[in-house]
């Protein structure tokens, strides 16, 4: 049968094809002769209990310019799609949550939504690591400024970050003698009004923040180590980090084994976990990246591995 697949993603004209993981998925869908539709962000709606969206047929070419073609938009009920890829980047706000409500209706009607919209809503990418304390460096989640200060004093070198951002945004490293310590805490917590995460600094960041891609609970054999630029402690590619492929270590595989059941039981078909040294730091499920980089370095087809799993679920 012809598989009808739709993708909900950030504005299609804004992506960089050479590094965009959603684009890699679209190329694979086209290679399999699936019928591809693009859904504009914000166009989902519910009418009399039935979920709809403005959607258009999409075709793609593997190049950096003039790489996509859209037909005319029409109103389509989401149950007409066999598969919906939810690939919107954070921020994770109420509009994102409303989108998961609509996608949950589609899922209940039989559409395969990747990833499970209930889990997208319930499993915060940073907070979810607290369920695996043996895999993590000392970690604190709070909005209490006094508690954060005590954590910094106790551990000496700490990274603080918001719970709802991505790409290295608003991440700070603080030591007890930092003259900006209190200002940073006030800023990141909005003077105690916003919950944040604090983690003991992991020196192995100089060897890279490893992104490990996981398909239906099983890790891809290679990780992308995002190595910080000179003078930086953040490895994120968005802030100048350099991506270098490396084989998974035994510890990486152990961490993947620890979280496998949680991912599978919650319908997380595609995840990107972050590991620094031997510590789990995040479980990314909204729109994990690094497919293109790993495919290029190791002649892989990670989207193919993912779509094989999707086809198994549809049969």
> Annotated active-site positions, please?
126, 161, 211, 226, 234, 274, 282, 284
Q: How far apart are CA 255 and CA 221, in angstroms?
A: 13
Q: How far apart are CA 215 and CA 34, in angstroms?
A: 20
Q: How far apart are CA 142 and CA 119, in angstroms?
A: 22
Q: Which helix H or strand E contains 285, and what residues bound it?
A: none
The SS3 assignment for 260 reads helix
Q: Please say whether the dihedral angle defined by the alpha carbons of residues 112, 306, 9 and 274, taken in this order, is positive or negative.
A: positive
Q: How far apart are CA 98 and CA 128, in angstroms?
A: 21
Q: How far apart are CA 85 and CA 23, in angstroms?
A: 12
The residue count for the chain: 315
CA 65, 68, 74: angle at the middle one, nearest 5?
150
Token pair of 68 as six digits: 């996509």
Q: How far apart are CA 228 and CA 230, in angstroms?
A: 7
Q: How far apart are CA 287 and CA 252, in angstroms?
A: 21
Residue pair 73/58 in contact by the 8 Å Cβ criterion: no
Which residues make Cβ contacts (< 8 Å) with residue 62, sequence separation at least 6? Answer: 17, 27
Residue pair 148/160 in contact by the 8 Å Cβ criterion: yes
Token pair of 58 as six digits: 């999409």
Token pair of 130 as six digits: 């607290």
């Amino acid at each position: 049968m012809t598989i009808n697949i739709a993708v909900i993603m950030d504005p299609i004209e804004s992506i960089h094809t050479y590094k965009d993981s959603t684009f890699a998925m679209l190329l694979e869908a086209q290679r399999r002769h699936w019928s591809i539709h693009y859904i504009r962000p914000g166009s989902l709606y519910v009418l009399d209990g039935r979920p709809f969206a403005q959607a258009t047929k999409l075709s793609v070419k593997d190049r950096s310019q003039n790489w996509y073609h859209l037909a005319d938009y029409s109103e389509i009920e989401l149950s007409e799609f066999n598969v919906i890829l939810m690939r919107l980047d954070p921020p994770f706000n109420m509009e994102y949550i409303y989108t998961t409500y609509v996608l949950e209706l589609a899922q209940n009607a039989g559409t395969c939504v990747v990833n499970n919209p209930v889990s997208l809503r319930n499993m915060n990418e940073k907070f979810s690591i607290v369920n695996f304390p043996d895999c993590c460096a000392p970690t604190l989640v709070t909005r209490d400024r006094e508690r954060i200060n005590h954590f910094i004093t106790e551990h000496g070198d700490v990274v603080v970050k918001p719970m709802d951002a991505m790409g290295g945004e608003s991440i700070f490293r603080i030591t007890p003698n930092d003259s900006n310590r209190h200002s940073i805490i006030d800023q990141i917590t909005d003077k105690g009004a916003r919950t944040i995460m604090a983690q003991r600094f992991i020196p192995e960041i100089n060897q890279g923040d490893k992104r490990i891609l996981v398909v239906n609970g099983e890790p891809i054999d290679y990780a992308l180590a995002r190595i910080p630029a000179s003078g930086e402690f953040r490895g994120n590619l968005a802030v100048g980090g350099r991506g270098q492929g490396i084989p998974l270590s035994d510890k990486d595989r152990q961490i993947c084994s620890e979280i496998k059941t949680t991912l599978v039981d919650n319908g997380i078909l595609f995840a990107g976990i972050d590991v620094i040294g031997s510590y789990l730091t995040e479980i990314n499920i909204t729109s994990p990246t690094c497919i293109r980089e790993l495919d290029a370095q190791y002649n892989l087809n990670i989207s193919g591995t993912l779509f094989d799993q999707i086809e198994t679920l549809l049969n």
